[in-house]
Structure 1
Amino acid sequence: MARLKLDIPNQPFPFQTIIPVRITDLNYGGHVGNDTILSMIHEARVQYLASNGYSELSMAGVGLIMGDVGIEYKSELFYGDQVVVAVCAGDFSRVGFDLYYILEKSEGEQKRLVAIAKTGMVCYNYQAKKIAAVPEEVKTKLSYLP
């Protein structure tokens, strides 16, 4: 069976946030479930956009919708873990771009990779209910990767 293999940029990411694992994030196996990882990258995305003066509904005149998502799980998370989520943007097209995520946790002096992810973001005009072009301002502000 073919597995998903993400190509995550191999350079420092311009944004990081820390997200604690809550007791409500645990599944029946006693660790964080896949739905929580998706929620964590959503939270990191919202914080990343806010750090640039944007929101998912207001980004230089357009909104955003997620066209796709890919997540590779690398290790478990448990209650009390602090997850460092790094985010960067790249692969801009006429109507969208990708956001990349690296999720790590500290284990003493070491960091352990928890997951890597990519979301394909599409610019959207919610009033007209149609896809919109990526504003040049957004490309300039968020472009970090070639």
Structure 2
Amino acid sequence: MPRIKIPQLSHYPFSVDIPVRISDLNYADHVGNDSFLSIMHDARMLYLMSRGYSEMNVEGFGLIMADAGVEYKAQLKYGDVVKVEVGLDDFSSVGFDVYYRLTVQRNGQHKIAALGKTGMVLFDFQAQKMTPISDELKARLIG
């Protein structure tokens, strides 16, 4: 079975440090796959906030996740502080992909813990349908 390969962007315009919580750990005493997605979600929310938006209000519309992928590279443990870099690419008429690079510092070196991607769609919750992304909105989201 071929493995997921998520490309790295040449530039991530946003980064945030997120500490690993004890509740992020699974039975193997490392961060579980669900918590990787939660960390990415936190970073995405902070990215949107830096642009003046939230997932429920992007110029009157919301965002829904159409797909998600994570390419795991290294374990994360309790006490780690994860640097999450975020960038947007692959815009379509109604959505875009959010790319994430999660790194951790160990023994004085930065190590990639995971690469992630979530496909996001602009959604009109009142009409219950996808809605187009204007060029102006695209420019504001990219910043």
What interval of TM-score do these two structures reach, taking the shorter chain for normalisation? over 0.9
What CA distance in whole angstroms lies between the structure 2 residues aligned with 1:92 and 1:27? 35
AA in 2 matched with 1:129: Q
What CA distance in whole angstroms lies between the structure 1 residues aligned with 2:29 and 2:135? 45
AA in 2 matched with 1:3: R
Give secondary structure in 2 for the equivalent of 1:69: strand
Q: How does 1:1-146 map to 2 (within 5 A)?
A: 1-9=1-9, 11-143=10-142
What CA distance in whole angstroms lies between the structure 2 residues aligned with 1:137 and 1:17? 26
Q: Report % sequence identity.
A: 50
Give secondary structure in 2 for the equivalent of 1:12: coil
What CA distance in whole angstroms lies between the structure 2 residues aligned with 1:38 and 1:101? 10
AA in 2 matched with 1:73: Y
AA in 2 matched with 1:5: K
What CA distance in whole angstroms lies between the structure 2 residues aligned with 1:12 and 1:136? 20
Gaps of 5+ in 1: none
Give secondary structure in 2 for the equivalent of 1:67: strand
Q: How far apart are 1:25 and its partner, in Å?
A: 0.9
Give secondary structure in 1 for the equivalent of 2:58: coil
For normalisation by structure 1, the TM-score amounts to 0.94
AA in 2 matched with 1:16: S
Gaps of 5+ in 2: none
What CA distance in whole angstroms lies between the structure 1 residues aligned with 2:24 and 2:7? 27
What CA distance in whole angstroms lies between the structure 1 residues aligned with 2:47 and 2:136? 16
Give secondary structure in 1 for the equivalent of 2:101: strand
Q: How many matched pairs?
A: 143
What CA distance in whole angstroms lies between the structure 2 residues aligned with 1:55 and 1:24? 25
Between 129-138 and 54-63, the greater mean CA deviation after superposition: 129-138
Displacement over 3 Å in runs of 4+: none
Q: How far apart are 1:42 and its partner, in Å?
A: 0.5
Q: How far apart are 1:2 and its partner, in Å?
A: 1.2
What CA distance in whole angstroms lies between the structure 2 residues aligned with 1:121 and 1:79? 29
What CA distance in whole angstroms lies between the structure 1 residues aligned with 2:48 and 2:134? 14
What CA distance in whole angstroms lies between the structure 2 residues aligned with 1:126 and 1:136? 21
**Root-mean-square deviation (Å):** 1.2
Contact 1:87–1:100 under 8 Å retained in 2: yes
